[in-house]
């Protein structure tokens, strides 16, 4: 089968909304069918970063994006680039108040989910890469990570919304000491009304299983930041699946690579936070 990827626009109440669509041609049947790869959002707000990485250099897709408010798109990309540079400096300098101000300024134009996906996440990935390649010290990396975690908690305090939706357990495998990913997801899902149990600290797998048994979460999400912890993550997922029927979702920086390790779970990678609620609904159904 051959397929073509393109952007489809849909007008709702005077606003254009964009979808990334795959058209698959079945030569045996002589027919084609369309599958939505991703809902991109309001046309005037979609930028290149919203497109999955494997399609970002497609000239036809870039041409469609440019046709929808090109000046707005350019302004968004410039604003995002500026915010990333500012946040990197303030995180590594340990200036939490300045980081909060960068967030406040950003969401005057955009939203919290965009801040996490397009600003905080790439900056933290950059800091992690620079530490791994000895471009910054371990002390600077620790300072930046601690400030980032404080920033996430402040953001959550600013926008927590109570709700009565599904219960989500966030956890990490044994040996994983990075819990920023869990904190970011907690902030986002809480703002959407989910009840979130954030167990973003390395504890024995048996403790995670015991918590699941007594609290009955609707979905378990496992965050893995370091590739050294992938095998521990696979073991944790296997234990959960061997003992419970609960859906499991795995994500994190460790999975942002060409060859994604196999898990007996849904893998959340190359996606945005706005895709999470749909993934949760799909996992539960």
Summarised one tens digit per residue, pLDDT across range 176-219 is 988 888 888 888 888 788 888 988 888 899 999 999 999 999 99
Fold of 72-159: 1.10.1240
> Residue 113: which of 190, 166, 55 has the closest Cα?
190
Superfamily of domain 167-284, CATH level 4:
Cobalamin-binding domain (3.40.50.280)
Dihedral sign for Cα atoms in the order 192, 195, 199, 205: negative
End-to-end CA distance of the chain: 29
Q: What is the pLDDT of residue 45?
A: 78
Per-residue DSSP letter, 215: H
Tell me the per-residue pLDDT of 86-141, one tens digit each, with 9 for 90 and over: 999 999 999 999 999 999 888 877 778 788 888 998 898 899 889 888 999 989 99
* Confidence band for 164, pLDDT divided at 50, 70 and 90: low
Amino acid 73: pLDDT: 61
pLDDT, tens only, 50-100: 888 888 878 778 777 776 655 556 667 787 889 999 999 999 999 999 999
The DSSP symbol for 110 reads: S
Q: At what angle do helices 276-284 and 180-191 cross, to 10 degrees?
A: 80
Q: What is the DSSP string of 45-78?
A: G--GGGS-GGGTT-HHHHHHHHHS-HHHHHHHHH
- Domain ranges for the chain, please list them: 2-68, 72-159, 167-284
Strand 167-171 to 219-223 pairing: parallel
């Amino acid at each position: 089968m051959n397929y073509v990827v393109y952007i489809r626009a849909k007008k709702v109440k005077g606003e254009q909304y964009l979808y990334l669509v795959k058209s698959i041609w079945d030569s045996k049947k002589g027919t084609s069918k369309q599958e939505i790869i991703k809902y991109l959002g309001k046309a005037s707000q979609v930028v290149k970063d919203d497109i999955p990485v494997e399609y970002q250099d497609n000239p036809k897709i870039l041409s469609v994006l440019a046709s929808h408010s090109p000046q707005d798109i350019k302004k968004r990309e410039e604003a995002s680039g500026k915010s990333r540079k500012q946040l990197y400096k303030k995180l590594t300098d340990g200036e939490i108040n300045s980081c909060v101000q960068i967030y406040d300024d950003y969401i005057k134009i955009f939203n919290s989910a965009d801040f996490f996906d397009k600003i905080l996440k790439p900056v933290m990935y950059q800091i992690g890469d620079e530490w791994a390649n000895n471009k910054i010290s371990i002390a600077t990396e620790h300072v930046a990570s601690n400030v980032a975690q404080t920033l996430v908690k402040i953001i959550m305090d600013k926008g927590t919304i109570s709700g009565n939706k599904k219960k989500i357990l966030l956890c990490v495998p044994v040996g994983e000491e990075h819990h920023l990913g869990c904190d970011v997801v907690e902030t986002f899902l809480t703002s959407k009304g989910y009840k979130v149990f954030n167990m973003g600290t390395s504890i024995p797998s048996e403790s995670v299983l015991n918590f699941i048994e007594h609290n009955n979460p609707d979905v378990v999400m496992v965050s893995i930041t370091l590739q050294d912890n992938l095998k521990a993550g696979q073991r944790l997922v296997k234990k959960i699946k061997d003992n419970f029927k609960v859906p499991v979702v795995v994500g994190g920086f460790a999975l942002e690579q060409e060859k994604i390790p196999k898990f007996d779970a849904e893998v959340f990678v190359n996606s945005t936070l706005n895709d999470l609620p749909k993934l949760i609904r799909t996992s539960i159904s």
